[in-house]
C-alpha cells in the first residue's frame, strides 16, 4: 500500500469494501397489485378447496392451485405460452408469487401447468366459478340488479380429431366448426358465454360451449345460474335478439324474472311497424339528447321512442326507438350497397371472350346473385337483353392487304340495364334508425328512457369480450387436449374478472376523491376513464435490487423510485406500497 509524504493512504490503493458483493435485480412490476386482488378474493384458498390434489401419489412441489394462481397473473401481465412461463417467473421477485426461491420457479414448466389445467377440468369448474363470484359480490359489493349476457367465439387452429362424442355426459366442449365471430369460417372454434353486472361490467358468470352452439340455446342455463348466484329472480336480464324466442322469454317470465331484448328483423311485428312508418302514421317522443362527442359543430345525438298499444304475438311490451346515429349509418350503408351493386353488375357487362355470358338466363341469374349478396334487391332492378353486333374477320390467314377479303359475323352481346327504384329507396329511408326492444317489465316500473339506458350498457360487455381477445390475447391457444383448452379458458375468466375489478376500483376511487383524470397516456396526457391495461402498465419496469455477499446473504435491498402516477394508483386501489419499497 502506497503512502504520500504526509503518511496518508493513496485512495486508488484503498481496499474496496464492496468488491466481493454481487447485485441481483428482479422485476416487481404490477404483480403486487394483482396479488392484492387475488388475496381479497381469497382465490388461492378457493382453488385449494375446489382443485384439490389427488389422494394417491406424492404431492407436487407446486400444487395445482398454486400453479393456476400463477397462470392468472401471467395472463394478466405477460400472456406467455406455457413453455415461456418459467423464464417469465425467474425475472420477477419470487416472494410475490408465493415462491420460496428461484428453484421453485423452474418447476413451473409447461408440463406442471398442463397437469394443473387437467385437474381443473376434472374438478367442478362450475362450483368454483360460483364460489369465486359469490366472494366477489360480497367483497366488492357488486350490484346484481341488472345483468348483461352475450357470447363470443375463440378460434383454434388445430385439427382436434378423436374428440368425445356429444352424447357423453362428462366431456370437454366440442371444438368444431360453427358461426365464427372472428370471420374465420375455415377454422374450428369454441363458444364462450360471458355475463356481467351493470356495476363496473364485472363478470358474474362464464361457460364454454361446443363450437356449433347457437346463442339462443345458452340463455336458459345462463339465467338459471345467475339466479342461483344472486339468490333471487329479481334482476333485469339484458341480451341481444337471440333471447327473443318464445321458449327463452317464457322461461324467464315463468320464474319471476324480467328481461330486455332486441326484436329481430325477421319478426312479423317489424314488417307491420315499418309499413306504418312509411305511411306516416307514427308519432315520436324525444326521450334523450346527448352532445356529440366528436365536436360541438356536430349534430346532437337524439333518441326518440314510440310504444304502441299492441303487444307482441307472445304477449310482451314492444318499444320502438329511432336513433339519429343509426339513421345516418343506415343511410350510409344503403348508399354503399347501391354503389357496390352497380359496380359489380357493370363489371358483368364487360365480360368478353370465354367469360362472356352465352344466354340471357345465365346473365340474369348472375345479376340477381349480385343483388342478393349486396342486399340491394329492394332498391335496384336489373334487366338483361341481347343485341347483335357485326364482327369482320379475314377469310384467309396472313397479313391483311388491299386484296384481303373479309366475312361478316353476327356476334350476340349481353347488355345489363340497371333501374333504381326511387320510390322504394324513399320508403326505406323513412325507416332509417329504427330498432325495437321487447320486455316483460311493466310500464310504470320501466319506461322507454330506462329501457334504452339498460340496453345501451351492452357495449361494455362487448368491450370485455374484446379485451379477452386483444389485451389478454386468448388466441392462439397452443394446446392439443380439449380438456386443457377448457381449463385454460376458465383461467382466462378469472383473469377477466380481476381485470374488471382493478378497473372498477380505480374509477370508484377517482369518483370518491373527485379526481377528474390521471396522466396515464403517453406524454403524461390525461386519462378520464382508466382501463386495467393502462393501470398495470404504470408499474411495468419497476425493480427490486439487492446486494449479496459471497454467501448469498442480503446486505442491502432497494427499489426503483415509484413514479407519482403509480403511487396515486396504489392509493386509489387500496394496495400497500410495501412491495415497492414504501
Do residues 434 and 320 lie in contact, with contact meaning Cβ atoms separated by under 8 Å?
A: yes
Distance CA(491)–CA(481), nearest Å, equals 16
* pLDDT confidence of residue 56: 67
What pLDDT, on a 0 to 100 scale, did the predictor assign at position 217?
92
Task: Tell me the β-bridge partners of 305.
Answer: 285, 321
Domain ranges of the chain: 22-123+486-580, 141-257+441-478
Distance of alpha carbon 81 from alpha carbon 94, whole angstroms: 20
Provide the pLDDT for residue 18: 63
Angle at 561 between CA 557 and CA 566, to 5 degrees: 125
- Give SS3 for 219: helix
- pLDDT of the residue at 218: 95
Q: How far apart are CA 93 and CA 356, in angstroms?
A: 71
Whose cell is 374478472? That residue is 497
For residue 3, what pLDDT is reported?
52
Averaged pLDDT, groups of 10, the chain, 582 residues long = 53 64 90 96 95 77 91 90 88 89 77 92 93 97 96 92 79 93 92 96 96 94 96 96 95 97 94 92 93 86 94 95 95 95 90 80 91 93 84 79 79 86 93 96 94 96 95 90 94 97 97 95 92 95 90 87 95 94 82
Alpha helices by DSSP H, 123-191: 125-140
User: For position 13, what pLDDT does the model report?
Assistant: 62
Residue 549 is predicted with a pLDDT of 85
Amino acid at each position: 500500500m502506497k503512502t504520500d509524504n504526509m503518511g496518508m493512504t493513496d485512495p486508488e490503493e484503498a481496499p474496496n469494501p464492496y468488491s466481493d458483493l454481487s447485485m441481483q435485480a428482479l422485476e416487481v412490476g404490477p404483480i403486487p397489485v394483482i396479488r392484492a386482488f387475488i388475496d381479497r378474493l381469497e382465490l388461492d384458498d378457493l382453488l385449494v378447496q375446489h382443485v384439490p390434489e389427488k389422494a394417491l401419489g406424492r404431492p407436487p412441489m407446486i400444487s395445482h392451485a398454486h400453479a393456476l394462481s400463477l397462470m392468472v397473473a401471467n395472463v394478466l401481465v405477460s400472456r406467455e405460452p406455457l413453455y415461456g412461463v418459467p423464464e417469465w417467473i425467474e425475472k420477477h421477485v419470487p416472494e410475490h408469487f408465493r415462491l420460496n426461491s428461484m428453484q421453485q420457479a423452474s418447476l413451473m414448466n409447461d408440463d406442471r401447468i398442463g397437469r394443473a389445467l387437467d385437474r381443473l377440468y376434472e374438478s367442478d369448474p362450475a362450483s368454483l366459478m360460483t364460489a369465486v363470484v359469490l366472494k366477489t359480490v360480497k367483497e366488492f359489493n357488486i350490484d346484481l340488479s341488472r345483468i348483461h349476457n352475450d357470447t363470443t367465439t375463440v378460434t383454434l387452429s388445430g385439427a382436434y380429431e378423436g374428440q368425445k362424442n356429444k352424447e357423453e355426459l362428462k366431456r370437454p366442449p366440442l371444438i368444431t366448426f360453427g358461426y365464427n365471430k372472428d370471420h374465420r369460417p375455415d377454422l374450428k372454434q369454441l363458444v364462450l358465454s360471458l355475463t356481467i353486472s351493470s356495476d363496473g361490467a364485472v363478470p358474474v358468470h362464464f361457460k364454454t360451449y361446443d363450437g356449433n352452439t347457437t346463442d339462443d340455446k345458452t340463455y336458459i342455463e345462463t339465467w338459471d345460474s345467475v339466479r342461483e348466484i344472486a339468490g333471487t329472480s329479481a334482476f333485469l336480464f339484458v341480451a341481444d335478439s337471440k333471447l327473443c324466442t318464445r321458449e327463452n322469454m317464457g322461461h324467464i317470465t315463468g320464474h319471476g324474472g324480467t328481461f330486455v331484448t332486441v326484436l329481430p328483423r325477421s319478426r312479423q311485428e317489424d314488417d307491420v311497424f315499418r309499413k306504418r312508418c312509411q305511411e306516416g302514421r307514427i308519432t315520436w317522443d324525444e326521450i334523450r339528447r346527448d352532445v356529440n362527442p366528436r365536436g360541438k359543430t356536430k349534430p346532437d345525438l337524439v333518441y326518440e321512442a314510440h310504444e304502441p298499444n299492441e303487444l307482441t304475438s307472445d304477449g310482451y311490451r314492444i318499444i320502438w326507438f329511432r336513433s339519429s346515429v343509426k339513421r345516418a349509418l343506415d343511410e350510409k350503408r344503403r348508399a354503399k350497397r347501391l354503389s357496390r351493386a352497380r359496380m359489380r353488375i357493370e363489371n358483368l357487362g364487360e365480360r368478353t371472350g370465354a367469360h362472356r355470358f352465352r344466354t340471357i338466363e345465365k346473365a340474369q341469374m348472375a345479376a340477381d346473385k349480385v343483388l342478393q349478396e349486396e342486399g340491394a334487391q329492394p332498391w335496384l332492378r336489373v334487366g338483361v337483353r341481347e343485341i347483335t353486333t357485326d364482327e369482320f374477320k379475314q377469310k384467309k390467314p396472313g397479313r391483311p392487304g388491299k386484296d384481303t377479303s373479309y366475312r361478316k359475323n353476327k356476334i350476340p352481346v349481353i347488355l345489363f340495364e340497371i333501374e333504381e327504384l326511387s320510390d322504394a329507396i324513399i320508403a326505406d329511408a323513412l325507416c332509417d334508425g329504427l330498432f325495437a326492444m321487447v320486455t316483460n317489465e311493466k310500464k310504470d316500473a320501466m319506461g322507454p328512457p330506462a329501457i334504452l339506458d339498460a340496453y345501451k350498457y351492452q357495449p361494455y360487455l362487448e368491450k370485455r369480450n374484446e379485451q379477452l381477445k386483444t389485451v389478454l390475447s386468448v388466441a392462439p391457444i397452443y394446446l392439443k387436449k380439449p380438456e386443457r383448452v377448457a381449463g385454460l379458458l376458465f383461467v382466462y375468466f378469472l383473469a377477466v374478472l380481476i381485470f374488471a375489478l382493478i378497473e372498477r376500483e380505480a374509477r370508484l376511487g377517482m369518483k370518491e376523491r373527485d379526481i377528474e383524470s390521471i396522466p396515464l397516456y403517453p406524454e403524461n396526457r390525461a386519462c378520464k376513464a382508466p382501463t386495467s391495461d393502462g393501470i398495470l402498465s404504470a408499474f411495468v419496469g419497476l425493480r427490486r435490487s439487492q446486494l449479496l455477499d459471497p454467501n448469498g446473504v442480503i446486505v442491502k435491498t432497494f427499489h426503483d423510485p415509484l413514479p407519482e402516477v403509480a403511487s396515486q394508483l396504489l392509493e386509489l386501489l387500496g394496495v400497500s406500497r410495501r412491495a415497492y419499497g414504501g
